[in-house]
Amino acid sequence: MKCPVCGAEVLPEAKYCHRCGSAINRGFQDIIVVTTPSIPGYRIRKVLGVVTGIVPRTRGILGKIVASIQSVVGGEISAFTSELEKARMEAIERLRDKARELGSNAVVGLDLETSDLGLQAGVVVVSATGTAVIAEPESESL
């Protein structure tokens, strides 16, 4: 199996890529995740509670050097863009895992936040928070 982000070969039992740290999704799209408070076509039967996925990330020394050079020239700093995208995907996957552990089949009200830990260490934290629910399809009226 290959990592969907960096393409590295990963072991069959791996949950995360050894090269880039991205979550390895094995078809667990059973958890619907939406930013809205409801899911069109579904009725929320039970609220199970708040779930969160948190991922701290930093670039290695080479990435920081590349970012420094890119910041002198101006424009997008691609060295950080890829790390933030990986962290976002991993935070959502961790949120899904926690929702699944509660017996949920959906998360509503997804909120993504990014913050800098400060400390002059270049550590960025991506947080995904939402409400785990049990949702069922609404019956269609004829």
Domain that holds residue 3: 1-27
Instruction: Give me the number of domains the chain comprises.
Output: 2
CA distance 110 to 93: 12
Q: Which of 59, 122, 126 is nearest to 91 (CA)?
A: 126
Q: Which CATH number characterizes residue 90's domain?
A: 3.30.110.70
Tell me the one-letter amino acid at 97.
Answer: D
Do both 9 and 71 map to the same domain?
no
Task: Examine the pLDDT at 140 and tell me if it is beyond 50.
Answer: yes
- Tokens describing residue 66: 């590349």
pLDDT at 95: 97
| 40 domain residue, yes or no | yes
Task: Examine the pLDDT at 67 and tell me if it is beyond 60.
Answer: no
Q: Structure pTM?
A: 0.68
CA distance 31 to 38: 14
Q: pLDDT tens across 9-59, in order?
A: 878 777 777 777 766 665 545 799 999 999 999 999 999 999 999 998 875
Do both 21 and 44 map to the same domain?
no
Do both 1 and 20 map to the same domain?
yes
| 78 domain residue, yes or no | yes
Backbone angles phi, psi at 92, to 5 degrees: -65, -40
pLDDT at 103: 92
Q: What is the mean pLDDT of the chain?
A: 81
pLDDT at 83: 78
Measured N-to-C along each axis, helices 61-73 and 78-101 cross at an angle, to the nearest 10 degrees, of 130
Structural element, H or E, at residue 116: strand 106-116
Q: Given the DSSP bridges, would you call strands 106-116 and 32-33 parallel, antiparallel or unpaired?
A: parallel
Tell me if 77 sits within 8 A of 67, measured CB to CB: yes
Do both 63 and 117 map to the same domain?
yes
